[in-house]
């Protein structure tokens, strides 16, 4: 490794991906000569995909030289079972302290990958499994590509605050045209990092052939032979004069602005510039431009923040902080859902699809219970129609869901979750009734968003089996699950809740049973400052746009419309009662609920949205208007103060858990690195709390 390629001090040791070369005799495929096949393999199982750090890149370079020296009729590259390559090893990026280091890494990747296109021998990429970022880019440098039908591919760099920097931003637009390149590089990445299925990659022209995994390598070699002997011809189009360039670039820019609430972030804008330049740039010019952009981005706090967010999410998906030993979890073979409204029905569907065990729903009468069951079955039918589930699986699941008005059907349940009206006395009464029906080991979970879980268990014989199990709406989409322990919740109950959460594929945090738990407490405090500013006389448009420069996907009042004024008011009233007057009850919010006004924004005749005049008429005529900067400052200050109080109270154990909750449950932008690193970088933590939440260098330049 050259001196400039030495990993920065403190960076984790690179997991080296080896590149192994072997010759394939093509006689068995009806051709003469041999193919040199390079296989990428880091020696670990498929849970740790192949990645490219400096040493791995140099290993690939040496393997390619070896392959060329064998004078084969073709060179191909593939991966270990289930994995092609997941791209650059990002673990060291946060430790880069000099732009020249980043520039050298970018240039090294380009110099090695481009040899697949320039070696004078036909090259093939056999994408046998996951191919992300640099993994897909090394395939793009090859002349031809096949992919396994089960493989997923993507260029996720824009999602992470980067750009496709090893050829993707230059090669892909030339290969598939501007519209499709924008789809892959921009729209997919901004849509929560959507990956391409094999058939999508083929339709878009990213790959040339799709084969089933059972005989993928043999079929791919046969495909390569057919290309070599001319029986298969792959047409390539010149897109330089395509009339769609301007409209495609405009669509990419519009998508980025929408994603980040109108904020102009560097990563998506630089990606658009590179895609635009690829129209006239040579490959060398494009690669040089990618090197420069990548070097600039890696020296930004935005990238470090994105990497902090990404790594935090990946880590917490695998390990739940403070979780008891998994062996303590009880088996869950039958589940009950109390309630059959929309939220309860969503919960029933999620539990049914993932646990694949009997799920029984109840409501106050049979008609309502039947309606909930019908909704679940209808969703299963939709999944079949959309080819997301096969008919046999849907039929099996539909036979496992049932509904009743008699709570005695909960006998034999191992786990019951309630999603009834947010009234403490009703939930207390419910749990006492259920105790007479179920076993002492059955877990009783509540989906309450703000009420005291401990108070729900008061007077029960087995309060240790009660736990908060708070989902976010829509249940199937939102990844966060807050598990709230009371002072009496035992380890077996908590372990069972965590085990169920893992089956549901949720990212979980275990928190103290405190008002609003984590997300609702912080969001309500934040929203309260915005509505207070409006109540005091700030124009709604001013208050609602005060945070737009930060890059939120939606404004505070858009979020209010999503949650619903009724729910927001109830939560603020609960927090006001339990945490005091800093959680003020907005007169505007109370008036909207009293008048039955459900939306602050309504659709305009031109298809856009405008402020609801009925809602505007309910706002009191205050006399203390604030500027956007004042609104933003007071909202962020409030978040810092509340987060510090939550940590002092032990609501969660670490600052990282608060960051995770706001990223996964509140849509806090990835590029800000979580709420607390952002408050640290802006100096707000020191200003209002006299200390940072994280050590210096977390989610920022070292």
User: For residues 155 and 183, is the Cβ–Cβ distance under 8 A?
Assistant: no
Q: Where are the alpha helices (DSSP H) in 548-674?
A: 556-563, 565-579, 587-595, 613-617, 628-649, 655-665
- For 3-299, the fitting CATH number among 3.40.30.10, 3.40.50.2300, 3.40.720.10, 3.90.226.10 is 3.90.226.10
Report the C-alpha gap between 281 and 113 in whole angstroms: 18
Q: In this structure, what DSSP letter does residue 183 have? A: I
Q: Residue 57: which pLDDT band, with cuts at 50, 70 and 90?
A: very high
Better-predicted residue by pLDDT, 46 or 392: 392
C-alpha to C-alpha distances, 652 to 645, 648, 659, nearest whole angstrom: 11, 9, 11
Residue 4 has pLDDT above 50, yes or no: no
157 tagged catalytic: yes
What residue has token string 């209002």?
Answer: 688
Report the C-alpha gap between 546 and 350 in whole angstroms: 37
| Whole-number pLDDT of residue 12 | 78
Q: Residue 3: which pLDDT band, with cuts at 50, 70 and 90?
A: very low
Strand order in the sheet with 130-132: 83-85, 130-132, 152-154, 196-197
Q: Residue 9: which pLDDT band, with cuts at 50, 70 and 90?
A: low
Nearest alpha-carbon partner for 397 in 362, 352, 344: 352
Nearest alpha-carbon partner for 369 in 343, 405, 398: 405
Mean pLDDT comparison of 178-192, 294-308, 549-563, 598-612, highest-scoring range: 178-192
Residue 543 has pLDDT above 70, yes or no: yes
CA dihedral 619, 625, 626, 627 (to 10 degrees): 100
137 tagged catalytic: yes
C-alpha to C-alpha distances, 516 to 20, 142, 570, nearest whole angstrom: 54, 53, 11
Q: Fold for domain 326-512?
A: Rossmann fold (3.40.50)
Mean pLDDT along residues 506-531: 96
The secondary structure element, H or E, covering residue 40 is: strand 34-41
- Residue 378 sits at φ, ψ, to 5 deg, of -65, -35
Q: HEC states along 333-360?
A: CCEEEECCCHHHHHHHHHHHHHHCCCEE
C-alpha to C-alpha distances, 654 to 509, 646, 680, nearest whole angstrom: 11, 10, 15
Q: Residue 8: which pLDDT band, with cuts at 50, 70 and 90?
A: low
Nearest alpha-carbon partner for 456 in 487, 482, 480: 487
C-alpha to C-alpha distances, 587 to 113, 287, 407, nearest whole angstrom: 62, 57, 40
Mean pLDDT along residues 480-489: 98
Beta bridge partners of 115: none
Beta bridge partners of 403: 361
Report the C-alpha gap between 267 and 57 in whole angstroms: 24
User: For residues 527 and 667, is the Cβ–Cβ distance under 8 A?
Assistant: no
What residue has token string 């994603």?
Answer: 259
Residue 138 has pLDDT above 90, yes or no: yes
Angle at 683 between CA 680 and CA 688, to 5 degrees: 95
Mean pLDDT along residues 542-569: 90
Q: Residue 470: which pLDDT band, with cuts at 50, 70 and 90?
A: very high
Mean pLDDT along residues 478-499: 97
pLDDT digits (tens, 9 = 90+) for 257-290: 989 888 889 999 999 999 999 999 999 999 999 9
Where along the chain do the CATH 3.40.50.720 domains lie?
A: 326-512
What residue has token string 């673990």?
Answer: 91
Where along the chain do the CATH 3.90.226.10 domains lie?
A: 3-299
Nearest alpha-carbon partner for 416 in 496, 520, 504: 496
Q: Token digits for 527?
A: 């929203």
Whether the link from the prior residue into 474 is cis, omega within 30° of 0, is: yes
- Residue 153 sits at φ, ψ, to 5 deg, of -130, 155
Residue 165 has pLDDT above 80, yes or no: yes
pLDDT digits (tens, 9 = 90+) for 225-251: 999 999 999 999 999 999 999 999 999
Report the C-alpha gap between 514 and 568 in whole angstroms: 17
Nearest alpha-carbon partner for 661 in 470, 451, 468, 419: 470
User: For residues 112 and 68, is the Cβ–Cβ distance under 8 A?
Assistant: no
Report the C-alpha gap between 270 and 309 in whole angstroms: 21
| Whole-number pLDDT of residue 2 | 39
For residue 213, how far is the Cα from the chain centroid? 27
Nearest alpha-carbon partner for 50 in 22, 75, 76, 78: 78
| Whole-number pLDDT of residue 479 | 95
Nearest alpha-carbon partner for 93 in 302, 272, 270: 302
CA dihedral 51, 55, 59, 62 (to 10 degrees): 140
pLDDT digits (tens, 9 = 90+) for 365-376: 999 999 999 999
Architecture of the domain spanning 519-650 = Orthogonal Bundle (1.10)
Which residues, 6+ apart, have CB-to-CB distance to 553 below 8 Å? 258, 259, 260, 261, 667, 669
Mean pLDDT along residues 615-622: 94
Q: Which of 4, 9, 23, 157 is catalytic?
A: 157
Mean pLDDT along residues 358-385: 98
Report the C-alpha gap between 410 and 416 in whole angstroms: 8
Q: Residue 7: which pLDDT band, with cuts at 50, 70 and 90?
A: low
Q: In this structure, what DSSP letter does residue 479 have? A: -
Where along the chain do the CATH 1.10.1040.50 domains lie?
A: 519-650
Residue 380 has pLDDT above 50, yes or no: yes
Nearest alpha-carbon partner for 619 in 680, 535, 562, 699: 535
Residues of the chain with pLDDT > 90: what percent? 87
Q: Which of 4, 23, 137, 573 is catalytic?
A: 137
Q: Residue 549: which pLDDT band, with cuts at 50, 70 and 90?
A: confident
| Whole-number pLDDT of residue 6 | 61
Residue 92 has pLDDT above 90, yes or no: no
Which of 246-250, 349-353, 601-605 has the lowest average pLDDT? 601-605
pTM across the whole model: 0.90
- Residue 286 sits at φ, ψ, to 5 deg, of -65, -40
Mean pLDDT along residues 474-491: 96
For residue 329, how far is the Cα from the chain centroid? 27
Mean pLDDT along residues 387-391: 93
The DSSP line for 365-414 is SHHHHHHHHHHHHHHHHHHHHTTSS-HHHHHHHHTTEEEES-GGGGTT-S
Nearest alpha-carbon partner for 303 in 100, 155, 110, 90: 90
């Amino acid at each position: 490794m050259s001196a400039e390629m030495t990993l920065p001090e403190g960076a984790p040791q690179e997991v080296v991906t080896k590149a192994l070369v072997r010759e394939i005799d093509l006689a068995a495929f009806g051709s003469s000569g041999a193919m040199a096949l390079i296989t990428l393999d880091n020696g670990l199982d498929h849970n740790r995909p192949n990645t490219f750090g400096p040493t791995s890149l140099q290993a690939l370079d040496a393997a390619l030289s070896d392959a060329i020296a064998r004078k084969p009729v073709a060179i191909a590259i593939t991966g270990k079972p289930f994995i092609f390559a997941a791209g650059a090893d990002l673990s060291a990026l946060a430790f880069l302290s000099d732009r020249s280091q980043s520039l050298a890494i970018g240039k090294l990747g380009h110099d090695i990958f481009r040899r697949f296109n320039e070696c004078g021998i036909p090259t093939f990429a056999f994408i046998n499994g996951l191919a992300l970022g640099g993994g897909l880019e090394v395939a793009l440098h090859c002349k031809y590509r096949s992919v396994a039908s089960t493989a997923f591919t993507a260029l996720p760099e824009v999602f992470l605050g980067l750009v496709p920097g090893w050829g993707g931003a230059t090669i892909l637009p030339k290969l598939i045209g501007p519209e499709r390149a924008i789809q892959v590089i921009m729209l997919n990445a901004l849509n929560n990092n959507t990956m391409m299925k094999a058939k999508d990659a083929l339709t878009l022209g990213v790959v040339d052939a799709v084969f089933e995994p059972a005989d993928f390598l043999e079929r791919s070699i046969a495909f390569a032979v057919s290309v070599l002997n001319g029986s298969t011809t792959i047409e390539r189009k010149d897109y330089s004069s395509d009339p769609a360039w301007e409209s495609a670039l405009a669509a990419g820019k519009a998508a980025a602005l929408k994603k980040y609430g109108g904020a102009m972030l560097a990563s998506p804008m630089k990606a658009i510039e590179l895609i635009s330049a690829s129209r006239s740039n040579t490959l060398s010019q494009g690669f040089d431009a990618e090197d420069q952009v990548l070097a600039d981005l890696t020296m930004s706090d935005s990238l470090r923040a994105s990497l902090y967010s990404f790594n935090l999410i990946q880590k917490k998906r695998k390990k739940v902080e403070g979780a008891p030993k998994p062996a303590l979890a009880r088996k869950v073979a039958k589940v009950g859902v109390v309630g059959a409204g929309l939220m309860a029905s969503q919960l029933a569907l999620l539990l049914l699809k993932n646990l694949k065990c009997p799920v029984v729903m109840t409501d106050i009468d049979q008609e309502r219970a039947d309606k909930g069951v019908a909704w679940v079955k209808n969703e299963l039918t939709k999944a079949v129609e959309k080819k997301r589930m096969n008919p046999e699986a849907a039929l099996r699941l539909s036979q496992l869901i049932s509904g009743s008005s008699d709570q005695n059907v909960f006998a034999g349940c191992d786990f019951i979750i309630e999603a009834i009206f947010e009234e403490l006395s009703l939930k207390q009464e419910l749990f006492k009734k259920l105790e007479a029906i179920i076993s002492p080991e059955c877990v009783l979970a509540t989906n309450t968003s703000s009420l005291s879980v401990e108070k729900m268990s008061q007077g029960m014989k087995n309060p240790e089996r009660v736990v908060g199990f708070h989902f976010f709406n829509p249940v199937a989409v939102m990844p966060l699950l807050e598990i709230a322990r009371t002072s009496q919740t035992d380890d077996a109950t908590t372990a069972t809740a965590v085990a169920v959460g893992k089956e549901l594929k949720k990212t979980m945090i275990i928190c103290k049973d405190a008002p609003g738990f984590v997300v609702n407490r912080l969001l309500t405090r934040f929203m309260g400052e915005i509505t207070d500013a409006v109540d005091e006389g700030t124009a709604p448009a001013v208050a609602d746009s005060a945070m737009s420069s930060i890059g939120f996907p939606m404004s505070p009042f858009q979020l209010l419309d999503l949650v619903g004024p009724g729910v927001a008011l109830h939560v603020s009233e609960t927090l006001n009662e339990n945490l005091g007057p800093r959680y003020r009850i907005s007169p505007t919010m109370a008036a909207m609920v009293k008048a039955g006004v459900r939306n602050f924004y309504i659709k305009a005749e031109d298809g856009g949205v405008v402020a609801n005049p009925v809602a505007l008429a309910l706002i009191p005529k205050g006399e203390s208007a604030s500027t956007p900067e004042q609104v933003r400052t007071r909202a962020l200050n409030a978040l810092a103060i509340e987060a510090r109080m939550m940590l002092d109270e032990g609501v969660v154990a670490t600052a990282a858990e608060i960051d995770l909750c706001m990223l996964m449950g509140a849509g806090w932008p990835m590029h800000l690195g979580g709420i607390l690193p952002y408050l640290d970088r802006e100096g707000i933590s020191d200003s209002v709390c006299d200390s940072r939440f994280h050590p210096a260098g977390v989610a920022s330049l070292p």
